[in-house]
Amino acid sequence: MSSQKVIIIGAGVGGMAAAIRLRLQGYAVEVFEKNDYPGGKLNHFETNGFRFDAGPSLFTSPQLIEDLFALAKEPISPYFSYEKLEVACNYFYEDGTCIRAYTDKYNFAKELEEKTKEPSENIYQYLHHASRAYKNIAGIFLHHSLHVVQTIFRAPILKAFGSLKLAYLTKSLNAYNESAFKSPKLVQLFNRFATYNGSNPYKAPAMLSLISHLEHNEGAFYPKGGMISITNALYALALKLGVQFFFGKSVQEITTQANKVNGVMVDQQQHFASIVVSNMDVYFTYKHLLNNPTKAANIKKQERSSSALIFYWGINKTFPQLDVHNIFFSKDYKGEFNAIFNTGLPFEDPTVYINITNKVEPGMHAPVGKENWFVMVNVPANTGQDWSALEAFYRHAIIKKINTILGEDISPLIEVSEVLSPVTIESKTASYMGSLYGTSSNNKMAAFMRHPNFSKSIEGLYFVGGSVHPGGGIPLCLSGAEIVSNLIKDKYSPNL
């Protein structure tokens, strides 16, 4: 066991998972977090009897959390429990169609055949390819650094090539889906998976089709108590293992000597460590903590993922036709993505996502007879737009959309309203331009262009979280923590 110290900057999901793994390797681990709470984007709040998860709402790959507890030899049940959802999402279209996307693929295919006349065989084929690609290709991205030579020897590269379809790289996700399905409704439904990493399905490679594997082969899950339970579980486990957290402590600088890390500056005080892991957005890490504007400018060249405008509404009524996850689709999906990634203009008919945790745990997240609506639209990352004007614009567009589909005016039912914009996402979690997932995957090489999990020029400096490899989203950040801890083990204690 090592007695060296590791300093982690940021207590987001990636930072806490890295803290747990490195503590288990024997390091003394200190986490400095600028906020006075853990979790970063994975946070929650309560107001007037309504509880809202503030950021992520969809939970997939629960085994990644279980892995951390198993590694720590700590029973998970006192900390965390979850259930599989029967329906991953309810999809509403303006012609009145509602598709229940069952997590059981046979029920899902049956529903699709009934509602869209799409032959079940097409769904099975699609999900079969997604599963193979996920297991063989995504496995390399999720468990290995793409930037060290050992990956070539360790990762099952040949198996990955065997599962690689040319179309995954040559076609856009939309073109791939159009060739897989007859029904435009299904093309739109499967195009949506590009938004899971903040990308544009009309540009992002068909490789993103493998994301559908998670929901429709493995399942969508709900953590008891809401998404905040993930933060609480990781934080409690880290504390139990002896990780030290310092809240309200913003790291001002990563200090180096002879191109080696030697610690961080916090409140003008030096804290020494020969290994530092930054869970802060990588662009801001270079710009503010390493004072390296050239490197920061290089990162800035990559296109940002989309951001979001979120309205947290306490609704004075219950809607039985809605489930935990609901999508009200735009009539013009292509136009919507063109607005988000190309023109940057407000879009009149946005796709609206509504998450209602009170559906799974009635009475726990909203007063009886009421519902906690997390209402989100995708918007461009912040480039200085007038967000208060956009907030008013989207509030109107969202209400219009919901009213049309539900056939009822919801505006008088909104008794509580809070908003999160790209600007507040950036100010709360230091995520550059408020993008949800770091950089977008809108080009074929994007997966390879994400910043590595380590610095090539400063020994002892590592990176974890949504802005670096393997990417944003809770499962990817958890996988990134595993990659970082393996890189550190290989370098500093290969015999562990």
Q: What is the binding site for ligand FAD (CB under 6 A)? A: 9-15, 32-35, 40-42, 55-58, 250-251, 279-280, 308, 310, 425, 429-431, 436-437, 465-466, 472-474, 477
Measured distance CA(171)–CA(168) in Å, rounded: 6
Q: State which residue, 109 or 487, has the beta carbon closest to ligand FAD.
A: 487
Measured distance CA(434)–CA(55) in Å, rounded: 12
Q: State which residue, 292 or 431, has the beta carbon closest to ligand FAD.
A: 431
Q: Measured from the CB of residue 281, what is the shortest distance to ligand FAD in angstroms?
A: 7
Q: Measured from the CB of residue 425, what is the shortest distance to ligand FAD in angstroms?
A: 5
Q: State which residue, 39 or 181, has the beta carbon closest to ligand FAD.
A: 39
Dihedral sign of CA atoms 6, 10, 11, 12 in order: negative
For residue 17, what are the CA distances in angstroms to 49, 58, 354, 439?
31, 18, 28, 21
Q: Measured from the CB of residue 491, what is the shortest distance to ligand FAD in angstroms?
A: 22
Nearest residue to the partner ligand FAD, using Cβ: 12
SS3 of 193, please?
Answer: helix
Q: Measured from the CB of residue 299, what is the shortest distance to ligand FAD in angstroms?
A: 15
Q: State which residue, 186 or 377, has the beta carbon closest to ligand FAD.
A: 377
Q: State which residue, 198 or 460, has the beta carbon closest to ligand FAD.
A: 198
SS3 of 79, please?
Answer: coil
Q: State which residue, 179 or 270, has the beta carbon closest to ligand FAD.
A: 270
Q: State which residue, 87 or 180, has the beta carbon closest to ligand FAD.
A: 87
Pairing of strands 414-420, 44-47: unpaired
Q: Measured from the CB of residue 382, what is the shortest distance to ligand FAD in angstroms?
A: 12
Q: State which residue, 264 or 402, has the beta carbon closest to ligand FAD.
A: 264
Tokens of residue 392, six digits: 């008013």
Q: Measured from the CB of residue 332, what is the shortest distance to ligand FAD in angstroms?
A: 23
Residue 247 CA to chain centroid, in angstroms? 23
Measured distance CA(95)–CA(93) in Å, rounded: 6
> Angle CA(358)–CA(362)–CA(364) in degrees, nearest 5?
75
Measured distance CA(484)–CA(462) in Å, rounded: 7
For residue 23, what are the CA distances in angstroms to 8, 17, 20, 230, 490?
11, 10, 5, 19, 15
Tokens of residue 247, six digits: 């809240």
CB 477 within 8 A of CB 17: yes
Q: State which residue, 72 or 265, has the beta carbon closest to ligand FAD.
A: 265
CB 300 within 8 A of CB 30: no
Q: Measured from the CB of residue 434, what is the shortest distance to ligand FAD in angstroms?
A: 8
Q: Measured from the CB of residue 106, what is the shortest distance to ligand FAD in angstroms?
A: 25
Measured distance CA(324)–CA(358) in Å, rounded: 8
Measured distance CA(62)–CA(218) in Å, rounded: 10
Q: Measured from the CB of residue 167, what is the shortest distance to ligand FAD in angstroms?
A: 26
